[in-house]
Amino acid sequence: MSVRVRFAPSPTGPLHIGGVRTALYNYLYAKKLGGDFILRIEDTDQNRLVPGAEAYIIEALKWVGIEPNEGVGFGDGKYAPYRQSDRKDSYRQYAEQLIQNDYAYYAFDTESDLEALKAKYPNFKYDASTRLEGKNSITLSAAEVAQRLANNDPYVIRIKLPEEEHVHFQDEIRGNVMVSTTQMDDKVLLKSDGMPTYHLANVCDDYIMKITHVIRGEEWLPSAPLHVLLYRYLGWENAMPKFAHLPLLLKPDGNGKLSKRDGDRLGFPVFPLEWTDPVTKEISSGYKQGGYLPNAVLNMLAFLGWNPGTAQEIFTKEELVNAFSLDHIHKAGAKFDFEKAKWFNAEYIKNLSNEQLAVLVKPIVTQKFGVQEEHYLIKAVGLVKERLVFLNDIEHFAYLFTSIAQYDTTALSKITAIQQQFPKQAFETFIQEQAFTDASSLEHAIKDFATANALKIGDVMKFLRTSLVGELSGPVISDLMILLGKDEVLKRVQNCLQQQ
């Protein structure tokens, strides 16, 4: 039987990187085994829907490059629709089937009924020991139940758990997990608005869509036994998928799982794409807009909770697919490491060819400094490639594209001293005489000029650097001179000579 996994987010907001990682692990697992990766939208809570969230999820998956081959936004497929609200009518029959088989019951308790029970019993939960106090099809007469249903009285359908039974299941990451039904409660399966809860919908859809492996976050571990029971009661136990509960992504500081707020609080994105809250208009930064490369993000995310068991850390997507396996997933939660994320991105940028980098950086450069000639841009980015952590960092290298607007004051003060005995005229002539064909002969010529004029090489370099860069750091001077060309170099030198 071929492997089928699903990523099943709820469109209650933008997908954050924890979700992206879950999607990634599903994707890697499916691809590794030649299976299918499905996107299912779990929008059974109509009150929490956020406009744009679904589209965001789809865009985000596209951007990082882990596209489902089936599901909402990806051409659908054999088991469409993949949006649970579009499958609303399919769930009721299963809930009713459960009632038929005495595995579930109608419950008519109102909100205030429930509150009264909670007030009466500390730590109240609706279960075998308390359901006799509720207004449900167990306590009410058949006639009254029929009457209430006929009246369209609001009701929910609850699972009827056995009083005491140990539910075991095998988690692919954690091994055997056991929970007693005494610790569980009669969870609502079908809500009074006719929508299923997560528990019902997820089990039904996974069964119907022939999902073989449920790979999801650890927050689902406590409800997994409930799902196991549901498979059993629905008669699907032999088709039950395997479960793998992933460790959570934690805040880099302090406690708790990584949340939306942490990113902008600590200075890194938690969302793949920038997101504007439709209500508050608050903007949350995104990896894409922050100048990250999708494959770097994937690589970084893959290593937060998984490792290949070797020393290799830089992996292409294909290599990740090949190396991936569930048993190399770490059990404990992982704190997000921003420094490591930056390192991954810088590594990926360094591994790009100048041509590739130029393409990626072109929109930023054009927007900041105007249109550049293609070959020039390629050479320019090559000069600063190993200085970029993010694509956006290119904007800190204005001197590659425009003349120096402002000189660094310490650089200027450093060269003032030098300028006293600097043979300005001779130097200009010297530059004019150079061929500007290759960097090393140019560098030799500069050194020769320095010795011939009894100047310190370092001083001449410092002067040139300030002229060309505006400050005392940057790429090798002769390389930069070749890039800029004689005319521009001369212009900048003359301009710098006029400073002070």
Give the footprint of RNA on residues 57-96 (CB under 7 A): none
Q: How far is the CB of 289 from RNA (least distance, A)?
A: 22
Query: Does residue 81 have a cis peptide bond before it, meaning omega lies within 30 degrees of 0?
Result: yes
Give the footprint of RNA on residues 130-159 (CB under 7 A): 154, 156
CB-based contacts of 393: which residues, under 8 Å, 6+ apart?
291, 387
**Closer by beta carbon to RNA, 192 or else 356:** 192
What is the enclosing helix (H) or strand (E) of 23?
helix 17-32
**Closer by beta carbon to RNA, 125 or else 232:** 125
Q: How far is the CB of 203 from RNA (least distance, A)?
A: 12
- C-beta separation of 481 from 490 below 8 A: no
Which of 340, 375, 396, 444 binds RNA (CB under 7 A)? It is: 340
Give the footprint of RNA on residues 374-403 (CB under 7 A): 386-387
Q: How far is the CB of 422 from RNA (least distance, A)?
A: 15
Which of 38, 66, 179, 365 binds RNA (CB under 7 A)? It is: 179
**Closer by beta carbon to RNA, 124 or else 376:** 124
**363 scored as a contact of RNA (CB under 7 A):** no
- Of 260, 335, 342, 486, the active-site residue reads 260
Give the footprint of RNA on residues 4-23 (CB under 7 A): 8-10, 12
CB-based contacts of 265: which residues, under 8 Å, 6+ apart?
none
Cα–Cα distance measured from residue 171 to residue 278, given in angstroms and rounded to the nearest whole number: 38
Give the footprint of RNA on residues 193-212 (CB under 7 A): 193, 195, 197-198
Q: Decide if 32 is catalytic.
A: no
Residues paired with residue 180 on neighbouring β-strands, in sequence order: 166
Give Cα separations from 165 to 168, 182, 250 (angstroms). Answer: 10, 7, 34
Q: Which amino acid is at 493?
A: V
Which of 339, 373, 435, 454 binds RNA (CB under 7 A)? It is: 339
Cα–Cα distance measured from residue 405 to residue 415, given in angstroms and rounded to the nearest whole number: 17
- How many residues are listed for the chain in this entry? 500
**162 scored as a contact of RNA (CB under 7 A):** no
Q: How many residues of this chain bind RNA (CB under 7 A)? A: 80
Which of 218, 274, 393, 428 binds RNA (CB under 7 A)? It is: 218
Give the footprint of RNA on residues 102-121 (CB under 7 A): 109-111, 114
Positive or negative torsion for Cα 472, 473, 476, 482: negative
CB-based contacts of 158: which residues, under 8 Å, 6+ apart?
104, 105, 107, 126, 131, 136, 186, 187, 188, 189
**215 scored as a contact of RNA (CB under 7 A):** no
Q: How far is the CB of 122 from RNA (least distance, A)?
A: 9
What are the tokens at 36?
A: 């299918």
**458 scored as a contact of RNA (CB under 7 A):** yes
Give the footprint of RNA on residues 233-262 (CB under 7 A): 247-248, 250, 252, 254-257
Which residues are annotated as catalytic?
Answer: 260
